[in-house]
C-alpha cells in the first residue's frame, strides 16, 4: 500500500482553480518532493492530504485513511508543518511543545525535541518573541511531536539561515532513516536535489512529471559533458557505438564527449573496455534547476533558491 495516494484532485476557490487535476502516489519511507512555481497548487494539494482542504473532486488516502472523515486517526499518523501556522502568541516554546505532545498517545520527549530543533535557549520564550527562523523550527518540532509515520513539510527551510537549513536537512534525512515518509513542498532546488527520492513537478494545477531528481534532469534531455585526457593518442572510434554519446571532439590534448542519459558511466565503461586510461576526468551536467526550466518552459521566480 502506498503511504499517500491522491487521485484526480481538483480544488477551486471561487473562480480560481488552485488544483486542476493532481494524482500522486507516495511510497512508504520515501522523501517525496513537490516542486513548482508560486501559485502552482502545491500547498493546496498538501493541505488536502492533511485534511485541511475539502477536495471539490478526487480522492485522498493517507495510510488508507480519508483525511476528512478519519481526522482523529489521521492526526496520530501524519505530522504537518504548514506555512504561516497560527500558534498561540503568548505561549512559550516549551508550553506549545508540551501542549501539542498532549494530543498524542505516544510521541517524542518534549525537551529532547526542543533540543533537536535547536531551541533549548528559547524554551521559555513566548512564540511572539521568536525570530522567523525560530518560529519555523518550532513549527517543525510540532509536526514531529507525535512521532508520525508520515510528515508534510511545506517550505521547510524558508527563513532559516544556511547553518539552520543544513541542520534541518539532516533532520529530514534522519526521518527517512527511521522509515518516516516525508512529503516536502519546496521551491529550493538544492534542497530538493539533495533530499528527495522522487519529485513531482506541479505546473498550473497539474502534474507535469514525476521522477527522481536525476531522472528529471535526464528527461529534460539536456546535454552533459565528459572531459578527459589520455596518456596515449586517443582514437574517437572507441566511443562510436556508445548510445549515450552524441559527439566527440578533441581540444588540444583534451577529449570532450557530449551526450545525455547516464553519460559518465557509459563513457567510463567504454574506455575501460578499450583499455584507455583517462586522466583528469571532469563531468558537467545540467542541474535540477536547468531541468525545471526546460520541462516547464517558464521562468522560475526563485531561481537562486533563496528565501522568498
Ligand atoms: P503554491 O503552494 O504552489 O504556491 P497554492 O496551492 O498556494 O500554490 O495556490 C494555488 C492557487 O490558488 C494560486 O493561484 C492561489 O492564489 C490560489 N489560492 C490559494 N489559496 C487560496 C484561497 N484561500 N483563496 C483564494 N485563492 C487561493
Asked whether the beta carbons of 267 and 245 are under 8 A apart, the reply is: yes
How many whole angstroms from 21 Cα to the centroid of ligand 1? 14
CA distances (Å), origin 134, targets 110, 118, 161: 16, 9, 10
Substitution site in 10, 35, 41, 206 for ligand 1 pocket (most atoms within 8 Å of beta carbon): 41
pLDDT computed for residue 13 by the predictor:
95
| 3-state SS class at 210 | strand
Would the pLDDT of 208 be above 70? yes
In angstroms, the CA 278 to CA 256 distance is: 12
Domain 4-77+148-217 has CATH 3.30.590.20: no
The overall average pLDDT reported for the chain is: 89
The answer to whether 39 and 16 have CB atoms below 8 angstroms apart is no
93-141 pLDDT, tens digit each:
999 999 999 988 889 999 999 998 889 999 999 999 998 888 888 988 9
The pLDDT assigned to 298 comes to 57
Report, as an integer, the average pLDDT of 165-175: 87
Question: Does the Cβ of 36 fall within 6 Å of ligand 1?
Answer: yes
> Per-residue pLDDT averaged across 78-97, rounded?
85
For 276, which DSSP code? P
Mutate which of 44, 302, 308 for ligand 1? The one with the most ligand atoms within 8 Å of its CB, which is 44
Q: Does residue 283 have its Cβ closer than 6 Å to ligand 1?
A: no
E-only strand ranges, 52-137: 57-62, 78-81
pLDDT tens sequence across 34-60: 999 889 999 999 999 999 999 999 999
Higher pLDDT, 302 or 80: 80
pLDDT at position 220 is 81
pLDDT at residue 307, rounded to an integer: 36
Q: What is the pLDDT of residue 304?
A: 39
CA of 65 relative to ligand 1 center, distance in Å? 25
Q: So what's the pLDDT on residue 26?
A: 98
Burial of 164 (0-12, 13-18, 19+ CB in 10 A): middle
- H helix or E strand, kind and range, residue 47: helix 42-49
Closest CA to 34 of 259, 229, 188, 184: 184
Look at ligand 1, atom 7, and give the residue with the nearest C-alpha.
43
CATH architecture of 223-284: 2-Layer Sandwich (3.30)
**Torsions phi, psi for 89 (to 5 deg):** -65, -30
Residues 48/110, Cβ–Cβ less than 8 Å = no
49: Cβ below 6 Å to ligand 1?
no
174-185 core/surface letters (b: 16 or more CB in 10 A; e: else): ebeeeebbbbbb
Q: What is the pLDDT of residues 254-281, one digit of tens each?
A: 999 999 888 999 999 999 999 999 999 9
Say if CB 226 and CB 264 are below 8 A apart: yes
Q: Would you say the CB of residue 41 lies under 6 angstroms from ligand 1?
A: yes
Residue spans per domain, the chain: 4-77+148-217, 223-284
Q: What are phi and psi of 136, to 5 degrees?
A: -60, -45
308 lines ligand 1 (CB under 6 A): no
Residue identifier of the C-alpha nearest atom 23 of ligand 1:
13
Whether the Cβ atoms of residue 58 and residue 206 lie closer than 8 Å to each other: no
Q: How far is the CA of 170 from the centre of ligand 1 (A)?
A: 30
Interval 216-227 mean pLDDT: 85
Residue with cell 508534510: 152
CB of 38 within 6 A of ligand 1: the answer is yes
Amino acid at each position: 500500500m502506498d503511504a499517500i495516494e491522491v487521485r484526480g484532485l481538483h480544488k477551486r476557490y471561487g473562480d480560481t482553480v488552485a488544483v486542476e487535476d493532481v494524482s500522486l502516489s507516495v511510497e512508504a519511507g520515501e522523501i517525496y518532493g513537490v516542486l513548482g512555481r508560486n501559485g502552482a497548487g502545491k500547498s493546496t494539494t498538501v493541505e488536502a492530504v492533511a485534511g485541511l482542504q475539502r477536495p471539490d473532486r478526487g480522492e485522498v488516502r493517507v495510510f488508507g485513511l480519508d483525511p476528512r472523515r478519519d481526522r482523529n486517526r489521521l492526526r496520530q499518523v501524519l505530522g504537518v508543518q504548514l506555512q504561516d501556522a497560527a500558534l498561540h502568541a503568548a505561549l512559550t516554546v516549551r508550553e506549545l511543545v508540551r501542549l501539542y505532545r498532549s494530543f498524542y498517545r505516544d510521541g517524542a520527549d518534549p525537551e529532547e525535541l526542543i533540543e533537536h530543533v535547536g531551541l533549548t535557549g528559547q524554551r521559555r520564550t513566548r512564540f511572539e518573541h521568536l525570530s522567523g527562523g525560530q518560529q519555523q523550527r518550532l513549527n517543525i518540532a510540532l509536526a514531529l511531536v507525535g512521532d508520525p509515520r508520515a510528515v508534510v513539510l511545506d517550505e521547510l527551510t524558508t527563513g532559516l539561515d544556511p547553518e539552520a537549513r543544513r541542520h534541518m536537512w539532516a533532520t529530514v534525512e534522519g526521518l527517512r532513516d527511521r522509515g518516516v515518509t516525508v512529503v516536502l513542498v519546496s521551491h529550493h532546488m538544492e534542497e530538493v536535489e539533495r533530499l528527495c527520492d522522487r519529485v513531482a513537478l506541479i505546473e498550473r494545477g497539474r502534474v507535469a512529471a514525476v521522477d527522481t531528481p536525476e531522472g528529471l534532469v535526464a528527461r529534460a534531455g539536456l546535454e552533459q559533458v565528459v572531459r578527459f585526457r589520455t596518456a596515449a593518442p586517443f582514437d574517437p572510434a572507441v566511443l562510436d557505438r556508445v548510445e549515450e554519446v552524441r559527439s566527440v571532439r578533441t581540444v588540444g590534448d583534451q577529449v570532450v564527449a557530449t551526450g545525455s542519459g547516464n553519460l559518465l558511466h557509459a563513457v567510463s565503461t567504454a574506455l575501460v573496455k578499450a583499455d584507455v586510461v583517462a586522466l583528469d576526468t571532469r563531468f558537467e551536467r545540467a542541474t535540477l534547476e536547468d531541468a525545471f526550466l526546460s520541462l516547464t518552459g517558464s521562468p522560475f521566480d526563485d531561481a537562486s533558491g533563496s528565501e522568498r
